[in-house]
Structure 1
Amino acid sequence: MKKIFQIKNCVSGLLTKILEKKQNFFRRHILIYENKFIHSHIETFNLNIILMKKVSQLRAVAVAVILSITFASQVNAQVLPDDNEFVYVAMDLQGVLDLTLATDPNVEFTFNTIPSYVNGIIKPNVTELRVESTVPWDLYVQAETVNWAQLQAFSSAGTSTVPSTLLEVRVIDGAGSSALSNFTALPNTRLNIVGTVGAGDGIAAGTYLTTPDSHFFRVDYRIVPTLTAQYQAGFYGLNVIYTLAEDL
């Protein structure tokens, strides 16, 4: 009987422990589910709060946009139409070709010795030319007449016909070169210093103040009468013409 009673007690103890473990298991799971349920409701509540804030912000933005549109329409409705007056401005652009002789226009040679007749006389840098132009240009020189004009005769011997070519010219620009860099006999026809009768070979618009190399010239003169020509003693004159022309 004692053994049976002991066995019952053991079985009863085991059952009690099993029941306690199951109760503890169910309690833990119930707590887990309760926590999940609570967290789920808290997250839902927070999400609702965020959504309500967003909706409030959108409402505020919408109200601001509506107010700005209303204000702008009111402002536009108050703008007065423009009132215009017109002023007509005319401009007359005239081309400029300006050739300036910056030195004495009178150059005089005196031949009173045999060496001067044979070797000739040179007058360096006695003519200075300055160019200002708004268009491309050419520059040329020539004698006004075929022959020198005898203004006074000192003798009846010899010939009074002295050709213009007895006068020789040499023209040097500001850069130290020119088409007439050597002494050249002066005819009564065009002798080119810059450019030719054709278009497109002149010098561009400018002024000697800013581009002296191409718009500034010095002229040397030379006369060699010789003894063989036997020109009549007298006083002679010849006009030398420098012409600045548009490069056409």
Structure 2
Amino acid sequence: MKTILAILVLAFSSRQAAAQYSYSASLTGNVSVYAIQSLTFTGGSVIPSFNSLDDYINGVVANNYVSVGVKSNVSWTLSVQAESAFFTPSSQSGSTNMPCSVLSVKQSGSNNYIPLSTNSQTIKTGNKGGLNNAGNSFGLDLRYNPGFMYKGDIYNLGLIYTLTHQ
């Protein structure tokens, strides 16, 4: 009987000894995830030509002038504005008074062109996601319509595209 009691005492005390070396702790961590956006353009190098009288009457359209890709972890807005109020002629014989509004932009597939100005104008809004997210990859069409008021030349105008979160 003493032997059984001694074995039980030893077995119980060895379990307590093993439990003394077991520790547990918890750790909490924080991860900071910031709003991030990426805007890419592909194309945009085509310069439309005015080759006929009809081109001067109706303007010239560059369909899918540029392909746009947006990656964002927040809902977004894409805006555009002209860098200056007037086009810059490449030569001194060109017109210096051709307004930026002779250039209009729209999302490919939509109906309404937006005449450019030096004020930022919304082209498109979208939801968070990558390029495969519906609406985050799209084309832009440009329409040039100077009419008959400006001298023949090659004209330049900078465009500023701005991607912001909603």
Normalised by the size of structure 2, how large is the TM-score?
Answer: 0.79
* 1:102-141 superposed matches below 5 A: 102-103=42-43, 105-141=44-80
Spell out, residue by residue over 1:140-191, the C-alpha distance to the aligned partner (whole angstroms, 9 max, x if none).
1111111111221446xxx43011000011213xxx55xxx42221111111
The structure having more radius of gyration, on CA atoms, is 1
**What RMSD in Å do the two structures reach over aligned CA positions?**
3.2
Residues 1:238 and 2:161 aligned together: no
Q: 1:235 and 1:118 mapped to 2: Cα distance?
A: 18
Alignment partner of 2:114 out of 184, 187, 194: 184
Runs of 4+ in structure 1 deviating by more than 4 angstroms, as ranges, are: 69-72, 83-92
- Which structure ranks higher in relative contact order (CA pairs < 8 Å, sequence separation ≥ 6)? 2
Q: 1:246 and 1:215 mapped to 2: Cα distance?
A: 13
Task: Tell me the residue number matched to 1:144.
Answer: 83
Query: Does structure 1 conserve the Cα–Cα contact (< 8 Å) formed by 2:73 and 2:128?
Result: yes
Secondary structure of the residue that 2:84 maps to in structure 1? Answer: coil
Tell me the amino acid that sits aligned with residue 242 of structure 1. Answer: Y
Quick check: which one's helix share is greater?
1
Task: Tell me the residue number matched to 1:205.
Answer: 128
Quick check: which one's strand share is greater?
2
Tell me the amino acid that sits aligned with residue 185 of structure 1. Answer: P
Identity of aligned residues (%): 24
Tell me the amino acid that sits aligned with residue 100 of structure 2. Answer: S
Structure 1 unaligned spans of 5+: 1-65, 196-202
User: Number of residue pairs matched?
Assistant: 162
Spell out, residue by residue over 1:172-216, the C-alpha distance to the aligned partner (whole angstroms, 9 max, x if none).
3xxx55xxx422211111111235xxxxxxx3321112x1x2211
Tell me the amino acid that sits aligned with residue 131 of structure 1. Answer: V
Residues 1:78 and 2:17 aligned together: yes
